[in-house]
């Protein structure tokens, strides 16, 4: 069994919306197909991957370093002798050959794209849905656990749009409730504090009992701004206050955590397991309420996320405190497998990469997973079309 070709393509996911830090009108994604010589049911087995929204396509790194290294590796070096199958860990190691430690960033995204494809391939070769394959893996510190049959998801939206006011924000949130979500999230920090408080109050006013609101500052605030917002946000029953400070400013986060009583959430812009380890070591976060959002698809893939999870077990954190950023079927499968506390979801945006398999409705804030082998990316028809065109 060998990889015969690796193809990548850059696809735009442009949208004229903004968070506190960036506008998405030039956003794009890399899609990758890992094509093998293996044929099952008359079709060539192909693994697919892409990067989560919010980081750009990685065509350059994929073309010049990641893909050539995997194609140049001795075919046997990529195969697990125990199974005879192409092995994600070995593919990962080949792609990271001659890379120094540190310097995480776009490289972590490029490797994450390959890693998603490698796990999709591994699950297809094993004839298992990815969440069932991953649930059987050994991770130091992890007690044996059956995969969850459904995963808690929340609707991430509430961006700033040039032509939308508070009424439109309320309508957007009502739409998420109608879809079955019970927790919604909106952006803050892109408007003055007083305006953001009006937006928050407007959303809280339309939420029925049992539904909650999270807010996300996208790493925008200085320590003083984060604390000023925190002092104001304390008055509201928020699900969490997300990414108040720069992702790597652990001291500022710790200052905020010492005085903000509600749950804090962060981690989506940590691109490696050493960064995640520093977050739990130095960020002042509280294992009984705070939320870790490291996104495997943006940070060297599940192969690296296993190391992160082992670190969390070691530090006394439950994986149920993890709710990855990303909003796609790969992170959903990881969330079901470990199991984690939940997974982000982007209803209606970042198409066709955001969202889950077609026909799996949100029910009371949870979603079930398909049982077809692989991640199940092709089960979303609009995404499957892009993937199949790349491999054809
Ligand atoms: Mg966020």
Instruction: Check whether 53 is labelled as a binding-site residue.
Output: yes
pLDDT of 351: 85
* Ligand 1 mean position, distance from CA 69 (Å): 33
Q: Do the beta carbons of residue 352 and residue 379 sit within 8 Å?
A: no
pLDDT of 15: 77
Which residues hold their Cβ within 5 A of ligand 1, which is an ion?
Answer: 216
Q: Using one digit for the tens of pLDDT, what is the confidence trace for 10-28?
A: 999 877 788 888 888 889 9
Q: Quote the tokens at residue 317.
A: 């954190």
Pairing of strands 85-86, 212-216: unpaired
Q: Quote the tokens at residue 108.
A: 């972590």
Instruction: Check whether 124 is labelled as a binding-site residue.
Output: no
361's CB contacts (< 8 A; 6+ apart) are 179, 180, 367
Instruction: Check whether 331 is labelled as a binding-site residue.
Output: no
**Residue 380 annotated among the catalytic residues of the structure:** no
* Ligand 1 mean position, distance from CA 187 (Å): 8
292's CB contacts (< 8 A; 6+ apart) are 265, 266, 267, 276, 279, 280, 285, 312, 317, 321, 322, 323
Q: Quote the tokens at residue 215.
A: 């807010």
* Ligand 1 mean position, distance from CA 324 (Å): 10
Instruction: Check whether 268 is labelled as a binding-site residue.
Output: yes
Q: Residue 247 to residues 59, 170, 220, 292, 355: CA-CA distances in angstroms?
A: 25, 29, 9, 12, 25
pLDDT of 17: 86
The ranges of the chain with pLDDT < 70 are none
pLDDT of 358: 96
* Ligand 1 mean position, distance from CA 342 (Å): 14
- Specify the pTM: 0.97
Pairing of strands 150-156, 366-368: antiparallel
Total Cβ atoms within 10 A of residue 277 = 18
Distance between terminal CA atoms of the chain? 20
Q: Quote the tokens at residue 71.
A: 């194609």
Q: Do the beta carbons of residue 230 and residue 241 sit within 8 Å?
A: yes
Q: Which long-range contacts (CB under 8 A, 24 or more apart) does 22-26 make?
A: 22/54, 22/218, 24/53, 24/159
Q: Where are the domains of the chain?
A: 3-127, 150-381
DSSP 144-202: P-PPPSEEEEEEE---B-TT--HHHHHHHHHHHHHHT-SEEEEE-SSS-HHHHHHHHHH
- Active-site option among 104, 124, 187, 328: 187
Q: Which CATH architecture fits 150-381?
A: Alpha-Beta Barrel (3.20)
pLDDT of 210: 97
* Ligand 1 mean position, distance from CA 170 (Å): 20
Taking domain 3-127, whether its CATH number is 3.30.390.10 is answered by: yes
pLDDT of 20: 83
pLDDT of 332: 98
Which helix (H) or strand (E) is 49 found in, with range? strand 43-50
Q: What is the DSSP letter of 106?
A: H
Instruction: Check whether 19 is labelled as a binding-site residue.
Output: yes
pLDDT of 25: 85
**Residue 187 annotated among the catalytic residues of the structure:** yes
Q: Do the beta carbons of residue 348 and residue 104 sit within 8 Å?
A: no
């Amino acid at each position: 069994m060998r990889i015969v070709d690796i193809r990548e393509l850059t696809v735009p996911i442009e949208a004229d919306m903004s968070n506190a830090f960036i506008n998405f009108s030039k956003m794009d994604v890399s899609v990758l197909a890992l094509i093998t010589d293996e044929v099952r049911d008359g079709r060539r087995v192909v693994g697919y991957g892409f990067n989560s929204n919010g980081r750009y396509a990685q065509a350059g790194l994929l073309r010049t370093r990641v893909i050539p290294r995997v194609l140049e590796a001795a075919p046997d070096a990529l195969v697990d002798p125990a199974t005879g199958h192409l092995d994600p860990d070995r593919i990962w190691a080949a792609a990271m050959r001659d890379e120094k430690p540190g310097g995480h960033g776009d490289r972590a995204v490029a490797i994450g794209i390959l890693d998603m494809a490698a796990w999709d391939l591994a699950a297809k070769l094993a004839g298992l849905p990815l969440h069932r394959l991953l649930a059987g893996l050994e991770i130091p510190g992890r007690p044996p656990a059956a995969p969850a049959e459904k995963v808690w998801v929340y609707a991430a939206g509430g961006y700033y749009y040039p032509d939308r006011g508070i009424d439109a924000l309320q309508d957007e949130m009502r739409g998420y409730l109608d879809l079955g979500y019970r927790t919604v999230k909106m952006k803050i920090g892109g408007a003055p504090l007083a305006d953001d408080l009006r937006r928050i109050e407007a959303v809280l006013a339309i939420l029925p009992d049992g539904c909650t609101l999270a807010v996300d500052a996208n790493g925008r605030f200085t320590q003083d701004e984060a604390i000023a917002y925190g002092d104001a946000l304390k008055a509201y029953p928020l699900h969490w206050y997300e990414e108040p400070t720069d992702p790597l400013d652990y001291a500022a986060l710790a200052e905020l955590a010492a005085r903000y009583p509600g749950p804090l959430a962060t981690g989506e812009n940590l691109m490696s397991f050493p960064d995640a380890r520093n977050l739990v070591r130095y960020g002042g976060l509280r294992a009984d309420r705070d939320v870790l959002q490291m996104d495997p698809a943006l940070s060297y893939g599940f192969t690296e996320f296993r190391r992160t999870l082992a670190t969390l077990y070691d530090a006394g954190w439950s994986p149920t405190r993890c709710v990855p950023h990303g909003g796609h079927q790969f992170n959903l499968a990881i969330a079901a497998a470990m199991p984690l506390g939940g997974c982000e979801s982007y209803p209606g945006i970042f198409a066709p990469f955001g969202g889950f398999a077609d026909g799996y409705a949100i029910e009371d804030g949870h979603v079930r997973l398909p049982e077809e082998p692989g991640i199940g990316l092709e089960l979303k028809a609009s995404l499957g079309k892009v993937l199949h065109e790349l491999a054809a």
